[in-house]
Amino acid sequence: MAVREPTTAKGRATRARIVTAAAELVAEQGAAGVSLDDVGARAPASRSQLYHYFDDRDDLIRAVIDATTDTVLGVQIEYLQQLDTWAGIDRWFAALVDLQKSGGARGGCPIGSLVGQLGERDPLAREALAAGFDRWEAHLQDGLGRMQARRHLAATADPAQLATSTMALLQGGLLLTQVRRDAAQLRIALDAARVLLHAAAA
Amino acid sequence: MAVREPTTAKGRATRARIVTAAAELVAEQGAAGVSLDDVGARAPASRSQLYHYFDDRDDLIRAVIDATTDTVLGVQIEYLQQLDTWAGIDRWFAALVDLQKSGGARGGCPIGSLVGQLGERDPLAREALAAGFDRWEAHLQDGLGRMQARRHLAATADPAQLATSTMALLQGGLLLTQVRRDAAQLRIALDAARVLLHAAAA
DNA sequence: TTGAGGCTGGACTGTCAAGTCCAGTTGTCG
DNA sequence: CGACAACTGGACTTGACAGTCCAGCCTCAA
């Protein structure tokens, strides 16, 4: 069994270096395209360090999923905390579209694209990805719930369903953006989300 | 360069056997998880047959994309041709949800999940996938266009944008269905598509 | 300061996969 | 029926990768 929590600062730093390097490589080349040699070279870390901190390749990939989730939610946390106003939601949507534009409409969602790569191969990875989506969606659901409490959403509206639909539009929009190399696809999808949410306004 | 169009019936049969076997394996194990030995064993076909009909592994995978697109559109073609009535759209949505339910909410969209696997690795594969989505979306856009001509959709509605939004909801819903192993996710997403489309009704 | 355990380096092994090669067989067409 | 191309079988080469192993180095606490 690999070391879970390194006790020394040096150990923690090494483990973090490995996960960061692996996450970057997975984002660039896909999970299947990353070899442990690649990870070791980028970290840098030797072979035995990888196996000191992780059971095996799959274990490392799962750590990458968690790290990637933290990163994705981290970069948008400011927006996610303000999803309880129409303006806050619009700002979030605009930031997501800008992010795709500036990135050349490449890569899609770092979490979403892992679903197709790992979802059917590693059940634990699937659960980790699902947990990531749950955390993401919870921010939106909470925001919508607060809007409903303030009577900005109809009492009959279901924040949970609206949040799920919005996540579907976001992920689907990112998929179409990636495959068509066109950030306008996400813009269209999020405009639709806007229509959908406003249709539930009080 | 590999043979593009086998001239003999035997050759065509062999090529088709290879593509079918490869497509099944890709659907089961993901593109990265399929080896040419696996394909050869299932087809069955020998190594040199694979390289007789395809340039290399990537070339075969691209053929799989086209074959998968044909299959996916083929199974729903009856529905796709009737997307010019509200009832036809509802039937399509219901069939998609049923398909996920009966499949245990596994695998997501056979085309969509390939985007994350191949989109950033092989530009030609990305184009083939984009072409598949275009064909799919065109059916919906045509149906909505016919509805608009019959004044069932508002004159100000944009069938192209509505079709894109619906595709995003479909793909996003399938992604959430796959990662959460819950067909209700697709149901929610397609209900949202219904709301969106009806908001554009004349 | 010394020993135990956390940590590190890198060589080594076994496996498996992509792609090559060529000899042999089958089908087609003049 | 003969020649040529289409097609087929499978051994072989080469390289890459996951996982193992063990010797040696830091770090900290007693």
Tell me what pLDDT residue B1 has. Answer: 66
User: For the segment B41-89, what is each residue's pLDDT rounded down to a tens digit?
Assistant: 999 999 999 999 999 999 999 999 999 999 999 999 999 999 999 999 9
Terminal C-alpha separation, chain B: 54
Which residue among A28, A173, A175 sits closest to B112, beta carbon to beta carbon? A175
Torsion angles phi and psi, residue B150, rounded to 5:
-90, 10
Q: Mean pLDDT over residues A116-141, rounded?
A: 97
Chain A interface residues facing chain B, Cβ-Cβ under 8 Å? 28-30, 32-33, 106-108, 112-117, 119-121, 126, 129-130, 133, 161, 164-165, 167-173, 175-176, 178-181, 185, 188-189, 191-192, 195-196, 199
Helix axes B159-180, B184-198, angle to 10 degrees: 170
Q: Is A104 left (phi over 0), alpha (psi -120 to 50) or beta?
A: left
With bands split at pLDDT 50, 70 and 90, how would you rate the model's confidence at B139? very high
Q: Is 90 exceeded by the pLDDT of residue A202? A: no
Kindly tell me the burial class for residue B2, based on how many C-beta atoms sit within 10 Å of its own C-beta (0-12, 13-18, 19 or more). Answer: middle
Q: How far is the CA of B40 from the C1' of C22 (A)?
A: 20
Alpha carbon distance B26, B12 (integer Å): 21
Give CA separation, B72 vs A93, B77, B118, in Å: 31, 9, 18
Torsion angles phi and psi, residue B74, rounded to 5:
-65, -45
Q: Is 80 exceeded by the pLDDT of residue B3? A: no
Tell me what pLDDT residue A4 has. Answer: 66
Structural tokens at position A48: 């035995």
With bands split at pLDDT 50, 70 and 90, how would you rate the model's confidence at A168? very high
Q: What DSSP assignment string belongs to A167-201?
A: HHHHHHHHHHHHHHT-THHHHHHHHHHHHHHHTTB
CA distance A5 to chain B (A): 28
Give the SS3 label for residue B201.
strand
Give CA separation, A17 vs A51, B93, B186, in Å: 14, 46, 38
Tell me what pLDDT residue A2 has. Answer: 74
Q: Per the CB < 8 Å rule, is A167 touching B167?
A: no
Alpha carbon distance B36, B47 (integer Å): 8
Written as one letter, the residue type at A88 is G
Alpha carbon distance B31, B99 (integer Å): 22
Mean pLDDT of chain B: 96
Q: Is 90 exceeded by the pLDDT of residue B4? A: no
With bands split at pLDDT 50, 70 and 90, how would you rate the model's confidence at A122? very high
Element (H, E) at B105: none
The pTM score is 0.96
CB B106 within 8 A of CB B180: no
What percent of chain A has pLDDT above 70?
99
For A168-186, letters b (16+ CB in 10 Å) and e give: bbbbbbbbbbbbbebbbbb
Which residue among A126, A179, A192 sits closest to B196, beta carbon to beta carbon? A192
What is the separation of C-alpha B64 from the centre of its chain, rounded to a whole number of angstroms?
Answer: 11
With bands split at pLDDT 50, 70 and 90, how would you rate the model's confidence at A136? very high
Residue showing tokens 């266009």:
B145
With bands split at pLDDT 50, 70 and 90, how would you rate the model's confidence at A6? confident
Mean pLDDT of chain A: 96
With bands split at pLDDT 50, 70 and 90, how would you rate the model's confidence at B2? confident
CB B162 within 8 A of CB B196: yes
Give CA separation, A176 vs A13, A165, A168, B143, in Å: 38, 16, 12, 20
CB A119 within 8 A of CB B179: yes
**Cis ω before B44 (30° cut-off from 0):** yes
Contacts of A63 (CB under 8 A, 6+ apart): A19, A22, A54
Q: Is 70 exceeded by the pLDDT of residue A185? A: yes
Alpha carbon distance B78, B30 (integer Å): 28
Give CA separation, A133 vs A115, A136, B154, B182, in Å: 11, 5, 35, 14
With bands split at pLDDT 50, 70 and 90, how would you rate the model's confidence at A60? very high
Report the residue of B175, B188, B194 to disrupt the A interface, i.e. the one with the largest count of A CBs within 10 Å.
B175
CB A188 within 8 A of CB A173: yes
Contact list in A for residue B195 (CB cut-off 8 A) is 196, 199
CA distance A82 to chain B (A): 23
CB A137 within 8 A of CB A164: yes
Closest CA to B123 of A106, A103, A108: A106
Q: Which residues in 56-75 of chain A line strand D, with CB less than 7 A from it?
A: 56-58
Alpha carbon distance A72, A110 (integer Å): 8
Give the SS3 label for residue B8.
coil
Alpha carbon distance B128, B151 (integer Å): 35
